């Protein structure tokens, strides 16, 4: 069974996509609004970087959604001993959760559905460039982060309930602890990025054609090709130089948010590991009289 490799592939694909796009910006000195650390959206707005950004994040979105569905099915599903894509999809599409609407299983199922919706938002923001479709890109980004906030809060709550923790192996308990730490980092970063960052940041503005040619020296042909429709004095490029510190604060916190999200979902690989021979009674941190009860691994 290779289910446990899906979260790993999500991390590798996401990190590789950002590494290539950010590396290209820093190495080639591509214009990113006049701030030292770019918004991730600006690293994949055009050319080859756009193709890498759109394809890479779309694949990452699919892998994250698959990881979430498989995780729920393996951890909270009725038959945790059988992790199959078909069974996971069936559960994710709305099959009722046993144990009541407030059970850890039901709470985690709601979180899984929110994660799947956030993957749709991630695909949209990846495919709709910030310079061609700024509104679609912006609202998709907000939707992605807000859905992740609610989903991570619900899943963290479900996995930390006593009923869920009693049946954890040591390795899964460590994975849960890692998710708690990553969730805390994510919540702090997302608060800085969205409510605080938007409140203290100055109004966004477009880079003028004159500044594009003379100040930034991006080339007359390049700047002319990016004139803003309806306002020939402006380009489709964003200029953050009016508030470089607050924009840098937001871009760095955005980067931390994304990395925390990838690592959070990546920890599911521990829960999805199906090596039954490595799980013994000694691995279970439960009383001996409870060890004969079914666990999430079906032992």
Q: For residue range 249-283, what is the model confidence (pLDDT) as tens digits?
A: 999 999 999 999 999 999 999 988 843 334 444 44
Token pair, residue 41, equals: 């959206």
Q: List all residues 6 or more positions away from 49 whose beta carbon is below 8 Å from its beta carbon.
A: 20, 21, 24, 25, 30, 43
Task: For residue 206, list its beta bridge partners.
Answer: 238
Per-residue pLDDT averaged across 51-79, rounded? 90
Beta bridge partners of residue 239, listed in sequence order: 205
What are the extents of the domains in the chain? 5-204+240-274
Pairing of strands 227-228, 205-208: unpaired
Q: Can you state the angle between helices 104-127 and 85-92, rounded to 10 degrees?
A: 100
C-alpha angle 52/116/73, rounded to 5°? 120
Residue 203 CA, distance from chain mean position: 26
Question: For the whole prediction, is pTM greater than 0.85?
Answer: no
Question: In this predicted structure, what is the pLDDT of residue 118?
Answer: 98
Beta bridge partners of 227: 235
Helices 244-266 and 5-28, axial angle in degrees (round to 10):
160
| Cβ contacts of 288 within 8 Å, gap of 6 or more | 281
pLDDT tens digit string along 185-218?
A: 999 999 999 999 999 999 889 999 999 999 999 9
Specify the length of the chain in residues: 299
- CB atoms inside a 10 Å sphere around CB 257: 25
């Amino acid at each position: 069974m290779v289910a446990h490799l899906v979260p790993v592939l999500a991390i590798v694909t996401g990190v590789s996509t950002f590494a290539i796009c950010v590396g290209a910006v820093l190495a080639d000195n591509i214009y990113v609004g006049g701030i030292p650390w770019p918004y991730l959206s600006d690293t994949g707005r055009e050319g080859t970087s756009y193709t890498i950004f759109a394809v890479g994040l779309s694949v990452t979105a699919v892998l994250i959604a698959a990881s979430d569905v498989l995780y729920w099915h393996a951890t909270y599903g009725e038959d945790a001993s059988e992790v199959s894509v078909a069974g996971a999809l069936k559960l994710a599409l709305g099959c009722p959760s046993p144990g009541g609407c407030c059970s850890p299983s039901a709470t985690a199922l709601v979180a899984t559905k929110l994660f799947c919706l956030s993957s749709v938002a991630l695909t949209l923001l990846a495919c709709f460039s910030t310079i061609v479709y700024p509104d679609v890109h912006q609202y998709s980004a907000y939707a992605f982060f807000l859905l992740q906030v609610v989903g991570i809060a619900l899943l963290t709550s479900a996995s930390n309930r006593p009923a869920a923790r009693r049946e954890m192996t040591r390795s899964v308990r460590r994975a849960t602890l890692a998710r708690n730490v990553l969730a805390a980092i994510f919540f702090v970063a997302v608060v800085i990025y969205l409510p605080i960052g938007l409140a203290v940041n100055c109004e966004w503005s477009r880079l003028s054609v004159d500044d594009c040619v003379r100040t930034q020296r991006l080339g007359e042909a390049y700047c002319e090709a990016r004139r803003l429709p309806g306002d020939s004095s402006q380009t489709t490029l964003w200029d953050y130089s009016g508030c470089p510190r607050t924009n840098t604060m937001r871009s760095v916190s955005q980067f931390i948010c994304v990395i925390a999200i990838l690592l959070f979902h990546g920890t599911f690989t521990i829960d999805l590991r199906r090596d039954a021979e490595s799980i013994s009674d000694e691995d279970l941190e439960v009383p001996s009289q409870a060890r004969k009860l079914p666990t999430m691994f079906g032992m």
